[in-house]
Chains A and B, each alone.
Chain A
């Protein structure tokens, strides 16, 4: 099923949704993943490599591509990679990462941050 979707993808010339660069990353992944499924250490290394070579914002595009291609293993992998990338980051960093803005009323956000001030300790520098 995975490969049918990919083929259909490239046949559809009007489809701008997945840039070539991203399709290149996504397609080789299934083979690698299936081959080294049992080896967690190699997957960790691949994850590190991905984080080094791919810009954070590109990771979100990989997730969207994997979701569109209905490619569950790649989606799980990229979601986990993004989770690991953001888990110790600040609120501002995460907003930039996903292109979000605060929609809290003035003072509302301050109140929340104060209530859970302990969760801000030890966060990575932006």
Chain B
């Protein structure tokens, strides 16, 4: 009576199981790895991970903010939290989570992955790790030495970036180490790490610039972006495309010296920061990527709009109706663009001062190392 093609039986074919599972939150999927060998193989497959990620990106509804406490004394006291952020712009309760590595900083985040860095003062090098907090998996990048050039150039600093490479369906970390010789010569060592191949590669390309001005880059449309100073003194935006490994320059929207780059609403965001009183932050979006004429001023925050003594507001995302912007100062603020007023997000479960990363449900790095909280109580497991 029950044949393999009969629908009278309850047997749901794997392709339909696939459709159901691709809609589940990752916590459920990690648990359902125990259902059967077939389900375990399905959930671990790269096709499923991709399908599930695409669904998360399209629906863009159940997000989690990761908060890292800052300005703690000593710094090792910094706690990490996760906060649900729903479709109707509401924040849930912050729950403390176990950090994979002590006292690391958030560099950037993408598709549920958070890239962390730690400046090892004693060994004078930067340690880097990629973490998926929602599935508690982590991968520490192999240590990559900086190749010092010959001659009298001295090492100045390194600038980092983390982002998605759509042409290779890969996640990249980039490091540009800068060397100078008393204002006469400069040299750049460029290396890129691929999460897929798990190794570093040197980029032997010439950078058409004098100096990189930002400590970290922003990633958008398969490219990293920095504010740079060119020979001749003027500043521009430098973009490095992952696919063709080429550098190109874009014009800034304004000539204000103190500026910063972010990504907002899927566009490159240029923020002009006026340091003198009355201070302000002026926000521009490159509405059409690559088209310099599409730089559009979208809003300006005057110092009296927010009751804080902060000079820099990092924009995180637009509210659902696009009328407000969630900003990061020392805490979170909703800035109403039309009414030009900022309002602090009041949530008792939040720590006082923190930095954030935004995560969507994703199974990326499922093959990474487990992040195990040593203090985890041995709860009676519910099967």
Using CB atoms and an 8 Å cutoff, list the residues of chain A in contact with chain B: 16-18, 57, 60-61, 63-65, 67-68, 75-76, 79-80, 82-83, 86-88, 90-92, 94-95, 98-104, 109, 112-121, 123
Which residues on B sit within 8 Å (CB–CB) of A123?
31, 382
Chain A residue with the shortest CB-CB distance to B378 = A117
Closest 9 A/B residue pairs (Cβ): A83-B23, A119-B30, A119-B31, A99-B10, A64-B7, A79-B19, A116-B30, A87-B28, A17-B7
Q: How far is the CA of A98 from the CA of B39 in the complex (A)?
A: 12
Q: B201 an interface residue at 8 Å Cβ cutoff?
A: no
Q: B9 an interface residue at 8 Å Cβ cutoff?
A: yes
Q: Determine whether the beta carbon of B35 is less than 8 Å from that of A64.
A: no
Which residues on B sit within 8 Å (CB–CB) of A99?
9-11
Q: Determine whether the beta carbon of A65 is less than 8 Å from that of B34.
A: no
Which residues on A sit within 8 Å (CB–CB) of B6?
16-17
Which residues on B sit within 8 Å (CB–CB) of A109?
34
Q: B141 an interface residue at 8 Å Cβ cutoff?
A: no
Using CB atoms and an 8 Å cutoff, list the residues of chain B in contact with chain A: 6-12, 16-17, 19-21, 23-25, 27-28, 30-40, 136, 370, 376, 378-379, 381-383
Which residues on A sit within 8 Å (CB–CB) of B382?
90, 120, 123
Cβ contacts A to B, 6 pairs, < 8 Å: A60-B12, A61-B10, A95-B35, A100-B36, A104-B37, A120-B383
Q: Determine whether the beta carbon of B36 is less than 8 Å from that of A104.
A: yes
Chain A residue with the shortest CB-CB distance to B19 = A79
Q: Choose among B7, B24, B136, B376 the residue that contacts A87 (Cβ–Cβ < 8 A).
A: B24
Q: How far is the CA of A86 from the CA of B21 in the complex (A)?
A: 10
Q: Determine whether the beta carbon of B7 is less than 8 Å from that of A65.
A: yes
Interface centre among B11, B39, B370, B382 (most CB of A within 10 A): B382
Q: How far is the CA of A98 from the CA of B10 in the complex (A)?
A: 6
Which residues on A sit within 8 Å (CB–CB) of B40?
112
Q: Determine whether the beta carbon of B379 is less than 8 Å from that of A112.
A: no
Q: Choose among B38, B136, B383 the residue that contacts A92 (Cβ–Cβ < 8 A).
A: B383
Q: Determine whether the beta carbon of A102 is less than 8 Å from that of B36.
A: yes
Given the contacts A17-B6, A79-B20, A104-B36, A119 and B28 also touching, CB distance less than 8 Å: yes
Given the contacts A68-B7, A121-B379, A112 and B34 also touching, CB distance less than 8 Å: yes
Q: Determine whether the beta carbon of B19 is less than 8 Å from that of A75.
A: yes
Q: How far is the CA of A44 from the CA of B8 in the complex (A)?
A: 28
Q: How far is the CA of A49 from the CA of B32 in the complex (A)?
A: 26
Q: Determine whether the beta carbon of A118 is less than 8 Å from that of B376.
A: yes
Which residues on B sit within 8 Å (CB–CB) of A113?
34, 381, 383
Q: Determine whether the beta carbon of B32 is less than 8 Å from that of A91.
A: yes
Which residues on B sit within 8 Å (CB–CB) of A119?
27-28, 30-31
Which residues on A sit within 8 Å (CB–CB) of B23?
79-80, 83
Interface of A is mostly: helix
Q: Determine whether the beta carbon of B32 is less than 8 Å from that of A103.
A: no
Q: Determine whether the beta carbon of B33 is less than 8 Å from that of A116.
A: yes
> In the assembled complex, how far is the CB of residue B56 from the closest CB belonging to chain A, in whole angstroms?
13
> In the assembled complex, how far is the CB of residue A112 from the closest CB belonging to chain B, in whole angstroms?
5
Given the contacts A112-B40, A119-B28, A120-B381, A91 and B35 also touching, CB distance less than 8 Å: yes
Which residues on A sit within 8 Å (CB–CB) of B20?
63, 79, 82-83, 86
Which residues on B sit within 8 Å (CB–CB) of A79?
16, 19-20, 23
Q: How far is the CA of A33 from the CA of B17 in the complex (A)?
A: 23
Chain B residue with the shortest CB-CB distance to A126 = B382
Q: How far is the CA of A27 from the CA of B378 in the complex (A)?
A: 50
> In the assembled complex, how far is the CB of residue A125 from the closest CB belonging to chain B, in whole angstroms?
8
Q: How far is the CA of A83 from the CA of B16 in the complex (A)?
A: 11
Q: Choose among B12, B25, B37 the residue that contacts A98 (Cβ–Cβ < 8 A).
A: B12
Q: How far is the CA of A60 from the CA of B9 in the complex (A)?
A: 10
Known: A61-B7, A87-B28, A103-B36. 16 other contacts (CB 8 A): A17-B7, A83-B20, A90-B382, A91-B31, A94-B32, A99-B9, A100-B35, A100-B36, A100-B39, A101-B36, A104-B37, A112-B33, A113-B381, A116-B33, A118-B376, A120-B381
> In the assembled complex, how far is the CB of residue B382 from the closest CB belonging to chain A, in whole angstroms?
5
Q: Choose among B8, B16, B32 the residue that contacts A16 (Cβ–Cβ < 8 A).
A: B8
Q: How far is the CA of A65 from the CA of B382 in the complex (A)?
A: 33
Q: How far is the CA of A12 from the CA of B33 in the complex (A)?
A: 40
Which residues on B sit within 8 Å (CB–CB) of A67?
16
Q: How far is the CA of A68 from the CA of B12 in the complex (A)?
A: 12
Which residues on A sit within 8 Å (CB–CB) of B11?
98-99
Chain B residue with the shortest CB-CB distance to A67 = B16
Interface centre among B9, B17, B28, B34 (most CB of A within 10 A): B34
